[in-house]
Structure 1
Amino acid sequence: MSNRAANIHRSRIHEDMVQRLAMTKLPGTDRTLFPTIRELLCFAALLGYSEGRRVPLDRSAGTEDVSYQQFERRDAEDLIFLIALADSKDPEILKDGEEGRCAEIFEEYANGGLQVLRDAMLRSGGEYPDRDILELLKKSGYLNIEEAEPDIDGINF
């Protein structure tokens, strides 16, 4: 694709949670759960797609954005197109000029995934978001971990 999509937007409705997941250090480490907001949005878009949660952004609540250049690094751009293709089931979506449509589909699945994460954190109180997300992934069948306290040091997003 020769043209580049516009920046990737997210709803301000989730901004407190986004900042917390991308900025707060995990207990006893120098790491955050998601190294960048880009990784969080990619994770949320995959979760939203997997859960069938495509939710349009409420633009009246305001939006924040991530520069599209951030998605051109480390194959994140490919994920935008992959999700759009999987959703539309139409290879025409990969043609030049459709980048904005692909970005919108990605944004809506990321928004749905952020809602899934928010709901999981609200159910448990949200004190330990890393544990909340692991529990969500286990309950949803995405992870098969039998340990009482999984070691999250080896998990990277």
Structure 2
Amino acid sequence: MAETGRIRVAKDKAELVKALTSSDGSTGPFQTFADVIVFAAALGAKHKKRVPLGEISKREPSPIGQEHFLTRGYDLIIKLLAIVEEKELAILSVGNEKFENQRLRLFEEYANGGLEILQNEMRGAVDYSERILLVLSSERFQQEQQREFDLRRFLS
């Protein structure tokens, strides 16, 4: 179960998370580990992909304090994912360690699912920023095609 106040990263995704940040001379598209994790969680949620963490990264990135997410306003995303998943207002209870751990576990699993998607998309990429832009453009293009009304289906 999640350690209270800490967001964990699966060991098999740790290198990807580090590569996606712009720290230590890296040119990743995200400034912090928290930014990467939130993006991955949103991607995982969009694709309805929750993946249990398995072995946890103990080194960089070690479990990330929840305050890093709070200061950037990401606590709302954690709560939103929890309420959508559980469909129960009690999950938002403040000061209840059980619900807080449950919210963090759900968030971690969506982030892990999103990181799995990113891992597949980034395979063979030299420039992660460019590849993420391609992924986002592809998602946008698919959405635009779904919204377009096609009169051809009435012909025949």
Q: TM-score, normalised by structure 2?
A: 0.77
User: How does 1:1-157 map onto structure 2 within 5 Å?
Assistant: 5-23=4-22, 24-25=26-27, 32-59=28-55, 62-63=57-58, 64-96=62-94, 97=96, 98-122=99-123, 125-141=124-140
Instruction: Tell me by how many angstroms 1:62 deviates.
Output: 4.1
* RMSD of equivalent CA atoms: 2.0
Instruction: Tell me by how many angstroms 1:68 deviates.
Output: 1.2
Instruction: Tell me by how many angstroms 1:143 deviates.
Output: 8.4
Moved over 6 A (4+): none
Instruction: Tell me by how many angstroms 1:73 deviates.
Output: 0.5
Deviations 1:10-65 (A, max 9, x none): 1111111111111322xxxxxx4101000110110000000111001012x64531
Identity among equivalent positions (%) equals 29
- Which AA in structure 2 matches 1:54? R
Show structure 2 runs of 5+ residues with no match.
144-156
Residue correspondences, number: 132
For 1:54 and 1:127, the matched residues in 2 are separated by 27
Q: TM-score, normalised by structure 1?
A: 0.77
SS at match of 1:140: helix
Q: Max radius of gyration: which structure?
A: 2
Show structure 1 runs of 5+ residues with no match.
26-31, 145-157
Contact 2:45-2:110 within 8 A present in 1 as well = yes
Deviations 1:126-157 (A, max 9, x none): 2111111111122233788xxxxxxxxxxxxx
